[in-house]
Structure formats: structure tokens, C-alpha cells
């Protein structure tokens, strides 16, 4: 899920990129279209913090100059205003794109810090730009030539208006203040979680059942107790495997207090500021304010969708919980009617049921999915489906780390270079430690510009689990969306689609790793690799189905809470949560404060958490076209041409219609849920 969405920049994406295509002024773009090809060797990592600061100053000078030209109508004859605006987006991508990647992967702190400083300067510029009334007035007068221009023009107008360009000066100032405060409050909320220093001590006996790898390197006190923190890599394995209930309860309670009362207050402040922001624009709630520009359109539509999901999983959730309760009674040798399931029991008994019923241990998969072979495997899936070739880029490169590399993606029919994929495959100190994709440079057919993206993952060198292979394919899926796109404007390239559509293409592909016919591609890319046994795969598939009632109910609760929190009446965050969680089968545990650690809604997913479930509905519908053959080149080609190539220049519902030959619907999703 951790797609790195480029921040909205001059409308659309900050991207960045290959530093050699420097400072293309708007008026040159139309005439020198071929000048923006992505040369794979051109990712020149800045040598020093001073070099980054200099790049940053040049960027801001170029943007100020271009802005002044836009305001007074100074673009070159024959260049449209929209093209001139998109040239500013591309200019920004050229500098900010690589810097965004380097913040996450550069081994040098000075480089990372300088890149962050540049980002702050750029953000300050950006919020002023979107309130430029002279530029806005000129863009308002544009008469779009066709549907693509119309959508880009509409998105641009929305960006200006959501930044407050049409408001009175005092309100404009208030919008800038509110946005600054929101950024600061979000940083405080996230920092409290990141810098949490809660430590708990456990004896060896209290850790019975926990894999020793989780705690054996932890510090010990004179009594021999182990010190554990609240990192996910510690908390989740302990909750899944500690057989002593008091151990699970103590750790669960600490984890569900992360962020503390201070973060509840910060969350309340965030929601109040968001509500005020919405009201400045005449909207009754923040949910109304943001959903206007989403695929879902309105809070009513999202509420209706969530209610339907809830109805579909209600019975399944109760059945899942009953299976766990029976397992608990058996495990503790106690009568079922005296057995009550606690919140800290669900992960533990789910794992017991999975192991007992399906005999699946994810560790078993690593020997089949070695890292280099896994990377070539996901490439091969795309090659087969989309008629492309992914091969090491020929040119020598100077990248941020000796293990980072570049791949050229070419079209099999035309042999043309489509774009460049950078890959940083292995874990190391100070590197971003999840899996993500930066689509840092976007295509523009108008400018002859080729896209580039960076795939950053961290698998063990011993190999991947099946879950990790699924994640690799998911993130690479975002890369395909970026690299196979053929949009007129960079601001609408690839992943620059509406937030509640962006996950769907990657979520669709997740299913592919459970198909033996797809996994057979390993034999093509790694003849010496062992092929994963089909029964093991089938067990993993069944195991994945167990617990979906509980998972979807939880997702439903998070999404409903997020919407209610950003609704018309700003509630107390904890009171609202306690009320909503109390209405679930396992109830609310007094003193627990889940919202204090709910980073999604403190950050970019406010009034957007529903997008996770929404994207799954779209993904399931997209999959119906591949039901007969997940590797069908014909269907893959149609998908590439209708969905991936269009990026954000066509509305998602229209893309779905063009690909499926009918309007998108939720039947496949609900059928899968009821199986
Ligand atoms: Zn994702």
C-alpha cells in the first residue's frame, strides 16, 4: 500500500528527475520536443549539500521567472497556457523528483537534510503560486481544445480555487495560516509516534512461544528480563505468538496508547483546523471539501458504500470470531461457555488456526523466491502481459549507492524506449525501510518527455516470503502505471489519478502471485530456481481467506471513524472512537486510545481512508477481465492501452468502462467476500 504519491505541485505532481534536462523554459518546450528523453545514466546524484542548495535556488529562480511570464502573457507564440503551466511542473520535477528519492535512500545525512530543506522552500513557493490571481485569471479564460485539455484545465482551476485564489485577501491569509498549521500539527503527531521511547520488560517465561529472534538481541536488566519497544517488528510477532495472555495484554495496552493523550489533543486540533478550512470555502465539513474531487464524489456515496461492505461481512466476522473462541477454549482446556475473546487474543488465535488448519508458514517460501530472481519474475509478468522488455540500462550510471541500478523499459513492437526504472533492492542502514515506488518524473507526449520511477524495497538476501513477493509486484505495479503512461501533460502522467483510484491497478496484480501458471515464469527467469510446490501455494491461498471477515470489519470501522471525525460536528476524537468501537463484537477496552496512533488520518488520508476498500472493489472488477488467463497478452494489451496509458487524463470511471466494455460495478468484490 505504500505508494509514494508525489505531492501536488504546480498542480499535480512533484516529480523530479533526471538532472540533465535542466531549466526548460516554458516557451522552449513546444519547439524542442525531443529534448526531454530520459537518459538512464542521467540520474546524477548531487555531490554535496551545497550543490543541492544551488540547484534549489536555480529552481526557484526559474519558477519565479516562468510565473511572471504566465501572469503577463509572456509565453512564446504558439505555446498554449496549459502547455506553459505544465512546463513549470516538469521543471519542478527535474529538481524535486530526484531529491525526493534521495531523502529516502541516500546514505549521506547531509544530502538527505539538504533535500528536505529544499522541499520546505519549494512548498512555501508552491502555496504562494496557487494564490496568484493574475495567473488564475488568465487560465480561467482558456477555452480547452478537447477532452484532455478540458480535464487538465479543470484540475488546474480546482488547484487554484482550493488554495483560496478566489477568496478575499483576509481569507486567503487565513487559508495559508491554516495550511501551515496543519503541516506543523501533522509533523508533531508523527514525531511523537516515531520518537516514542516506551519500553517494557519481560522475563524469558513471559515470552514463551515468541520466536527467539524477536527478543534475543534486546538489552537485559540485572534480573535477566528483556527490554522490548513498540516497533511493529516487535509488537506484531509477540501478539501473534506469546502464549502467556498477560504478556499479550500488557504489550497490546502499551501499543494502543502510542502517541498518548497529547496526540489525541493534536488530532482534535487537526480536525478543527480542517473543518475551519472547509468552512472558509463554504463547505459544511472537511469530508465534503475533499470528496468533491474524488471518484466517490460525496460523503453520502462513501457512507452508502461502507454500509454495503458492513452488511456483506457481518456474518463472516461473527463466524471468524467464533472459530477463534473455540480455539481459545481448546487451548486453555476450559468450557466454551466460559470463554471470552479479548482484543489481544485475536492475532494469537488467528495464527494458531492458520498453522493448525492450513499448515502455512511464510518462512517456507524464501528458498523459492530469491531476490534477484523475484525481481526478474515481476519484470517477466509485465513483459508477458504488456508487450514490453525490461533490461539493464546500457549506459554507465552514477547513482546514490553501488547497489542501485537502472533498467530500460522498451516497447516490443516499436523498439522505442518507454521509460527508465531505477531499483534499490536491498536493506541497509539509513535507507527507507518499507516498500514504495516514487514516480518522480512523468511522461509528456507534448514535450517528448519519457518517464522515470524508482522502486525501493528491502527483502532479506535469503529470499522473499509469498507476502513479500506480493508486495514487490504491487509496488512494481505502480511503476508500470508511471512508465507505460502516454499522457499529453506530465501533470496527469501515470499515477496522477484520483486518490481513491491510485491503488486499484496495483491491488489488481496482487492476486497474480497465487496463480501457479504465473509463478511458473520463475523457470524462465531462473532455470536453476526450485519451483514452489502447488500444494503449498494452495494452502497459502486458503489461509489468506481465513479472517477476512475480521479484517474487512476492522477496515470498515477505520474508514467510518475517519469520515465521522471529519464530518459536520467536530467530535472529541476518543469519545467518538470509544462509542464506535463499543458497537463492535469485541467492544472497546477502556484506556486504550487507538486514534492517538492513527497516522493515516493525521496525514494525507484524512477523509480518505475508505480508499483502501474502494480500491479493492475496483481491483476485483478489473480482475474479471483476466479470469480465464492472468497472462493473456491480448487482455494485457487492452489494459495497457485503455487504463495505464491514460493516466489521469481520463476519469477513472471512464477508464474502467473503456477497459471492461461496461460500467464498473462492485459485484465481483461482493461475490468474492461471500465465498
Ligand atoms: Zn500501493
Question: What nine digits make up the cell of 499?
Answer: 486518490
Instruction: Give me the pLDDT at residue 39, please.
Output: 53
Identify which of 602, 561, 607, 608 has the alpha carbon closest to the alpha carbon of residue 580: 561
Residue 279 CA to ligand 1 centre (angstroms): 32
Assigned fold of 26-190: Glutathione S-transferase Yfyf (Class Pi); Chain A, domain 2 (1.20.1050)
Cite the DSSP H helix spans in 453-533: 466-483, 504-510, 516-519, 522-525
Residue 166 CA to ligand 1 centre (angstroms): 34
Residue 293 CA to ligand 1 centre (angstroms): 20
Residues pairing with 202 in the sheet: 226
> Model-level pTM?
0.86
Determine the Cα–Cα distance for residues 152 and 45; give it in Å rounded to an integer. 32
Domain boundaries along the sequence of the chain:
26-190, 197-257, 260-315+548-675, 365-388+400-545
Residue 579 CA to ligand 1 centre (angstroms): 31
Residue 435 CA to ligand 1 centre (angstroms): 9
Residue 3 CA to ligand 1 centre (angstroms): 4
Residue 137 CA to ligand 1 centre (angstroms): 37
Residue 476 CA to ligand 1 centre (angstroms): 9
**Residues 628, 631, 632, CA angle at the centre, nearest 5°?**
65
Residue 4 CA to ligand 1 centre (angstroms): 8
Q: Which of 1.10.1370.40, 3.40.50.720, 1.10.3720.10, 1.20.1290.10 is the CATH number of 365-388+400-545?
A: 1.10.1370.40
Determine the Cα–Cα distance for residues 237 and 228; give it in Å rounded to an integer. 12
Asked if 557 and 577 touch (Cβ cutoff 8 Å), the reply is no
Residue 604 CA to ligand 1 centre (angstroms): 14
**Can you spell out the DSSP letters for 98-140?**
HHHHHHHH-S-HHHHHHHHHHHHHHHHHHHHHTT-HHHHHHHH
Taking every pair of Cα atoms in the chain, the longest distance, rounded to a whole number of angstroms, is: 84
Residue 562 CA to ligand 1 centre (angstroms): 20
Residue 475 CA to ligand 1 centre (angstroms): 6
Residue 315 CA to ligand 1 centre (angstroms): 29
Residue 504 CA to ligand 1 centre (angstroms): 8
**Can you spell out the DSSP letters for 48-88?**
SHHHHHHHHHHHHHHHHHHHHHHHHT-SPTT--HHHHHHHH
Residue 88 CA to ligand 1 centre (angstroms): 27
Q: Do domains 26-190 and 365-388+400-545 have the same CATH topology?
A: no
Contact partners, residue 414, CB within 8 Å, separation at least 6: none
Residue 89 CA to ligand 1 centre (angstroms): 23
Residue 564 CA to ligand 1 centre (angstroms): 25
Q: Using the structure block, give the residue that is written with the C-alpha cell 535469503.
A: 462
DSSP 449: B
Residue 463 CA to ligand 1 centre (angstroms): 21
Determine the Cα–Cα distance for residues 101 and 76; give it in Å rounded to an integer. 33
Residue 517 CA to ligand 1 centre (angstroms): 24
Residue 506 CA to ligand 1 centre (angstroms): 6
pLDDT average per 10 residues of sequence, the chain (675 residues): 35 25 26 45 79 97 96 82 95 93 91 90 89 95 95 95 93 90 87 86 96 88 94 84 96 95 97 96 94 90 92 92 97 96 96 84 88 98 98 81 94 96 90 86 95 92 90 96 97 91 95 96 95 92 89 95 92 97 97 94 88 93 97 98 96 96 93 82
Measured in degrees and rounded to the nearest 5, phi and psi for residue 618 equal -65, -40
Instruction: Give me the pLDDT at residue 37, please.
Output: 56
Residue 438 CA to ligand 1 centre (angstroms): 11
Determine the Cα–Cα distance for residues 167 and 180; give it in Å rounded to an integer. 17
Residue 437 CA to ligand 1 centre (angstroms): 8
Residue 505 CA to ligand 1 centre (angstroms): 9
Print burial letters for 446-457: b (CB count within 10 Å at least 16), e (below 16): bbebbbbbbbbb
Determine the Cα–Cα distance for residues 345 and 208; give it in Å rounded to an integer. 15
Residue 1 CA to ligand 1 centre (angstroms): 3
Residue 495 CA to ligand 1 centre (angstroms): 10
Residue 497 CA to ligand 1 centre (angstroms): 13
Asked if 659 and 635 touch (Cβ cutoff 8 Å), the reply is no
Residues pairing with 4 in the sheet: 438
Question: What nine digits make up the cell of 607?
Answer: 477523509
Residue 128 CA to ligand 1 centre (angstroms): 31
Instruction: Please state which CATH class domain 260-315+548-675 belongs to.
Output: mainly alpha
Instruction: Give me the pLDDT at residue 2, please.
Output: 35
Identify which of 482, 418, 483, 494 has the alpha carbon closest to the alpha carbon of residue 650: 494
**Can you spell out the DSSP letters for 142-189?**
---SSHHHHHHHHHHHHHHHHTTTTS-HHHHHHHHHHHHHHHHHHHHH
Determine the Cα–Cα distance for residues 280 and 259; give it in Å rounded to an integer. 30
Amino acid at each position: 500500500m505504500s505508494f509514494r504519491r508525489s505531492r501536488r505541485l504546480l498542480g499535480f505532481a512533484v516529480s523530479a528527475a533526471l538532472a540533465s534536462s535542466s531549466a526548460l523554459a516554458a516557451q522552449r518546450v513546444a519547439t524542442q520536443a525531443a529534448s526531454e528523453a530520459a537518459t538512464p545514466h542521467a540520474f546524477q546524484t548531487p555531490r554535496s549539500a551545497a550543490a543541492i542548495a544551488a540547484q534549489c535556488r536555480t529552481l526557484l529562480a526559474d519558477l519565479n521567472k516562468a510565473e511572471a511570464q504566465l501572469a503577463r502573457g509572456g509565453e512564446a507564440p504558439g505555446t498554449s497556457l496549459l502547455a506553459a503551466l505544465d512546463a513549470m511542473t516538469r521543471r519542478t520535477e527535474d529538481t524535486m523528483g530526484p531529491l525526493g528519492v534521495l531523502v529516502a535512500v541516500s546514505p549521506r545525512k547531509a544530502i538527505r537534510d539538504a533535500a528536505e530543506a529544499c522541499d520546505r522552500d519549494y512548498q512555501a513557493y508552491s502555496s504562494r503560486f496557487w494564490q496568484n490571481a493574475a495567473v488564475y485569471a488568465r487560465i480561467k479564460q482558456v477555452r480547452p481544445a478537447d477532452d484532455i485539455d478540458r480535464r487538465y484545465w479543470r484540475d488546474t482551476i480546482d488547484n487554484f480555487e482550493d488554495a483560496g485564489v478566489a477568496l478575499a485577501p483576509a481569507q486567503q491569509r487565513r487559508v495559508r495560516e491554516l495550511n501551515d498549521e496543519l503541516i506543523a500539527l501533522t509533523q508533531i503527531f508523527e514525531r511523537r509516534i516515531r520518537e516514542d521511547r516506551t519500553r517494557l520488560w519481560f522475563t524469558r517465561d513471559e515470552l514463551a512461544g515468541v520466536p527467539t529472534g524477536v527478543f534475543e538481541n534486546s538489552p537485559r536488566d540485572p534480573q535477566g528480563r528483556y527490554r522490548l519497544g513498540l516497533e511493529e517488528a516487535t509488537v506484531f510477532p509477540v501478539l501473534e505468538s506469546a502464549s502467556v495472555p498477560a504478556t499479550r495484554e500488557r504489550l497490546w495496552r502499551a501499543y494502543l496508547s502510542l502517541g498518548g493523550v497529547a496526540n489525541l489533543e493534536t488530532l482534535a486540533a487537526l480536525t478543527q483546523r480542517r473543518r475551519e478550512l472547509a468552512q472558509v470555502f463554504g463547505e459544511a465539513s472537511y469530508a465534503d471539501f475533499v470528496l468533491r474531487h474524488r471518484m466517490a464524489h460525496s460523503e453520502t456515496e462513501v457512507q452508502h458504500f461502507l454500509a454495503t461492505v458492513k452488511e456483506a461481512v457481518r456474518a463472516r466476522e461473527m463466524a471468524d470470531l467464533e472459530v477463534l473462541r473455540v480455539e481459545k477454549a481448546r487451548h486453555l482446556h476450559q468450557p466454551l461457555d466460559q470463554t471470552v475473546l479479548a482484543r489481544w487474543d485475536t492475532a494469537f488465535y488467528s495464527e494458531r488456526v492458520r498453522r493448525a488448519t492450513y499448515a502455512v508458514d511464510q518462512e517456507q517460501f524464501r528458498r523459492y523466491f530469491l531476490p534477484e530472481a523475484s525481481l526478474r519474475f515481476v519484470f517477466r509478468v509485465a513483459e508477458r502481459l504488456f508487450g514490453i522488455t525490461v533490461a539493464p540500462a546500457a549506459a554507465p550510471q552514477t547513482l546514490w549507492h553501488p547497489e542501485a541500478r537502472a533498467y530500460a523499459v522498451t516497447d516490443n513492437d516499436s523498439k522505442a524506449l518507454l521509460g527508465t526504472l531505477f531499483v534499490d533492492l536491498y536493506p541497509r542502514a539509513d535507507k527507507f525501510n518499507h516498500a514504495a515506488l516514487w514516480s518522480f518524473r512523468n511522461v509528456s507526449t507534448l514535450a517528448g518527455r519519457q518517464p522515470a520511477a524508482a522502486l525501493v524495497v528491502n527483502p532479506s538476501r535469503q529470499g522473499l516470503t509469498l507476502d513479500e513477493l506480493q508486495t514487490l509486484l504491487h509496488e512494481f505495479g505502480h511503476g508500470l502505471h508511471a512508465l507505460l503512461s502516454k499522457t499529453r501533460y506530465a501533470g496527469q502522467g501515470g499515477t496522477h489519478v484520483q486518490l481513491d483510484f491510485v491503488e486499484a491497478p496495483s491491488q489488481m496484480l496482487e492476486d497474480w502471485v497465487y496463480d501457479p501458471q504465473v509463478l511458473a515464469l520463475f523457470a524462465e527467469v531462473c532455470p536453476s530456481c526450485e519451483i514452489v510446490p502447488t500444494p503449498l501455494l494452495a494452502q497459502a491461498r486458503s489461509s489468506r481467506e481465513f479472517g477476512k471477515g475480521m479484517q474487512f470489519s476492522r477496515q470498515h470501522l477505520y474508514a467510518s471513524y475517519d469520515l465521522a471525525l471529519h464530518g459536520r460536528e467536530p467530535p472529541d476524537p476518543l469519545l467518538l472512537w470509544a462509542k464506535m468501537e463499543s458497537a463492535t463484537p469485541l467492544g472497546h477496552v477502556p484506556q486504550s486510545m487507538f486514534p492517538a496512533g492513527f497516522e493515516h488520518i493525521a496525514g494525507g488520508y484524512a477523509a480518505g481512508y475508505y480508499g483502501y476498500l474502494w480500491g479493492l472493489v475496483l481491483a476485483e472488477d478489473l480482475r474479471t477481465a483476466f479470469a480465464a488467463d492472468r497472462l493473456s497478452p491480448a487482455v494485457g494489451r487492452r489494459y495497457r492501452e485503455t487504463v495505464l496509458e491514460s493516466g489521469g487524463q481520463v476519469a477513472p470511471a471512464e477508464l474502467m468502462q473503456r477497459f471492461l466494455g461496461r460500467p464498473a460495478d462492485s459485484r465481483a468484490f461482493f461475490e468474492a467476500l461471500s465465498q
